[in-house]
Amino acid sequence: MPISKTKALLIAGTGSGVGKTTIAMGLMAALSRKFKVQPFKVGPDFIDPTHHTRICGLPSRNLDSFIMGEKGVIETFVRGSSGADFCIIEGVMGLFDGLDATEIASSAHIAKILKVPVILVINTHGVSRSAAAMVKGYIEFDSGVNIQGIILNNIGSDRHFKLIRDSLTSAGIDIPIIGAVPKKNTFSIPSRHLGLEMAHENNSEIAELANFMEQHIDIDALKSIAGNFKAPELNFEEQHEQFNVKIGIANDSAFCFYYQDTFDSLKRSGAELVFFSPMSDKLPQVDGIYLGGGYPELYAKELEASNTRHQIKRAAQDGMPIYGECGALLYLGASLKTDSTYRMAGVLGASSRMTGKLQALGYTEAQSVMDSPIAKKGMIIRGHEFHYSTTECDRDARFVYRLQRGKGIFEGRDGLMEYNTMASYMHTHPASNSFDEFLQQCSKYRSGLS
């Protein structure tokens, strides 16, 4: 499935906080005025992609070589890029920062897998000639990464720019500077405990951001570099087992962490997706429920007040397959303590509380030690965890996952199971674990065979 006409580049930074997110978003906004722009995000992040989607009008997709593998990265890119004029990939952390001391899951690894040109963003605040040392180091560190342009962020003045430009020339660096962006605080996006605010919570002016980038970045040079991209080809096995089922997906401000690839995978397998809000909607007539992560702690009062939590508990007791991730674990338990203690769905024998400090952050790898709504016993699943809560389980709790990497709920165990309901702190992706087992169980439930 070739996408030979698609142009692409990856916006990387020398480290976190150098401005690559704002610059990537601004370039997406500028190019989207005339072109169809498909956004991507390196890593497992759920939040940045919501801003990409709002700007480009197309769902942003994640590229993560640890969770998805190289083939999964290529497949997501090829599928997502079909028909796009430009693809803008926002990197993660510093260009070479990956899993432990490896390149896996880094922006550099994604750039090498896709053979995509890289634009390097440098924070120039407080440096001049040292910028040349940074660029030279990044160029020479891994010759397999194709850095084709430089954007200088937080430039202080024309003289500051000239000092850096001349330093690069003196160092024999012939990679072009395609942008010199002055500091502008009005484009910062507010943050909270799980990262930036979601796109629907932020009213940043897209047109103003696009104008700003067009003023300070050579868009023609950027398009030329993107044109050097030669798209990969991948022949998919398009045949999927088909399941005639309806899946209820919790989708609101409390449950909003989902991968577009998951929705697409479910649809390709014949599932009809029915979106609902556990805060304000009745549980729809469905054959299974999927609850993603998000911010149930911010809406605990509304979740307690909604009768939907009782409907979900009755569905669970009836044997309906229910799968939840992270925030869903807090909701499916008996209670959640934030500013007060709120009653939740009561499906799982556990209670959770917010702690005010980070409890787990990083990639996970789990072995399934029993059958569950999402996986058969013995399967190895990769994902990630990121939470500020702790969960205390009943003494007879059953755990589906034994973690080979990660923290989980308790002593390296994750995936709390009750009835045909399972919820974990681990977020998963269909490239690591397809939802076929979940759909199979939903099909059995629909037919009254569960």
- The verdict on 369 and 440 lying in the same domain is yes
Write the DSSP assignment of 133-180 as a string of letters: HHHHHHHHH-TTS-EEEEEEEEE--HHHHHHHHHHHHHTT----EEEE
Which positions are catalytic? 326
Nearest to 251 by CA among 209, 286, 216, 213: 286
Q: Using 70 as the pLDDT threshold, list the residues of the chain that sit under it.
A: 1-4, 185-204, 236-239, 449-450
Q: Are residues 144 and 181 in the same domain?
A: yes
Indicate the number of domains in the chain: 2
Three-state SS annotation for 281-319 = CCCCCCCEEEECEECHHHCHHHHHHCCHHHHHHHHHHCC
User: Are 198 and 79 within one domain?
Assistant: yes
Looking only at the bridges linking them, the beta strands covering 7-13 and 61-63 are unpaired
Question: Is residue 317 located within the same domain as residue 369?
Answer: yes
Q: Is residue 189 part of a domain?
A: yes
Residues 165 and 271 in one domain: no
How large a percentage of the chain has pLDDT more than 70? 93
Please report whether residue 67 resides in a domain.
yes
Give start and end residues of each alpha helix (H) in 188-251: 206-216, 219-226
> Do the domain assignments include residue 83?
yes
The residues pairing with 196 across neighbouring beta strands, listed in sequence order, are: 191
Query: Which secondary structure element, helix H or strand E, spans residue 71, and what is its range?
Result: helix 65-81
Which of 226, 258, 290 is the endpoint of a domain?
Answer: 226
Quick one: 280 and 208 in the same domain?
Answer: no
Nearest to 40 by CA among 201, 232, 259: 259
Find the radius of gyration of the CA atoms of the chain: 23
Range of the domain at 331: 246-446
What pLDDT score was predicted for residue 267?
A: 96
- The pLDDT assigned to 201 comes to 43
Co-location of 158 and 261 in the same domain: no
Shared-domain flag, residues 275 and 362: yes
User: pLDDT value at position 241?
Assistant: 83
Cα distance between residue 195 and residue 193, in whole Å: 6
Q: What is the pLDDT of residues 284-334, one digit of tens each?
A: 999 999 999 999 999 999 999 999 999 999 999 999 999 999 999 999 999
366 belongs to a structural domain: yes
Please check whether residue 2 lies inside any domain of the structure.
no
In a domain? residue 233: no
Indicate if 165 and 299 belong to the same structural domain.
no
66 inside domain: yes
Do 276 and 138 fall within a single domain?
no
Domain shared by 179 and 109, yes or no:
yes
Residue 239 is assigned to a structural domain of this protein = no
pTM: 0.92
Other beta carbons within 10 Å of 241: 11
Looking at residue 252, which CATH number applies to its domain?
Answer: 3.40.50.880
* The amino acid at 424: S
167 with 251, same domain? no
3-class DSSP state for residue 246?
strand
For residue 20, the Cα-to-chain-centroid distance in whole angstroms is 16
pLDDT at position 3, please? 45
Q: For residue 51, what is the domain's CATH number?
A: 3.40.50.300
Kindly state the tokens that stand for 94: 């510093």
**Cα–Cα distance list, 214 to 29, 46, 220, 331 (Å):** 10, 27, 10, 45
What's the pLDDT score for residue 128? 94
